[in-house]
Amino acid sequence: MPVIQREHILVASQVVDNVISGSAFEFARQNELVSIGCCASATGAFLTITSGADVVLEESPIVVKAAGSWPIIPDEMYYSDICAMGDRLVLRLRNGAGTPTVHTIVQVTPI
């Protein structure tokens, strides 16, 4: 199962348009199930998830965990969607305050 891991340190008012931009798995190569976990080291960070035409998560606060922590698989993989071949997976981060570190994991399972 392919996995994408990303770490971002967000500065004031920063927006990351797509956490997985440039990844080999940004566009679904076949029908696949994606499972996503995301956590931040402090409050103030927000996440939006879209998969093709599907809105998986409207902009919402990111779960806060201790600095340096990553989402626990499978317990903290809170979001999932079925991507059709060719769909683009977009995980958008926005920082509202402070400088949180955001850890994101995406698991891709062909179906």
- What is the predicted pLDDT for the residue at 9? 96
Instruction: Look up residue 84 and give its DSSP letter.
Output: P
Radius of gyration of the chain from its Cα atoms, rounded to whole angstroms: 13
pLDDT surpasses 90 at 11: yes
Q: How open is the CA angle 60-92-19, to the nearest 5 degrees?
A: 130
Per CATH, the number for 3-110 is 2.60.120
Domain boundaries, the chain: 3-110
pLDDT at residue 38, rounded to an integer: 98
Average pLDDT over residues 29-44: 97
Q: In which order are the strands placed within the sheet that holds 15-16?
A: 15-16, 89-95, 45-51, 54-61
**The residue type at 99:** T
Q: Give the residue-averaged pLDDT of 1-10.
A: 95
Q: Structure tokens of 35?
A: 């499972």
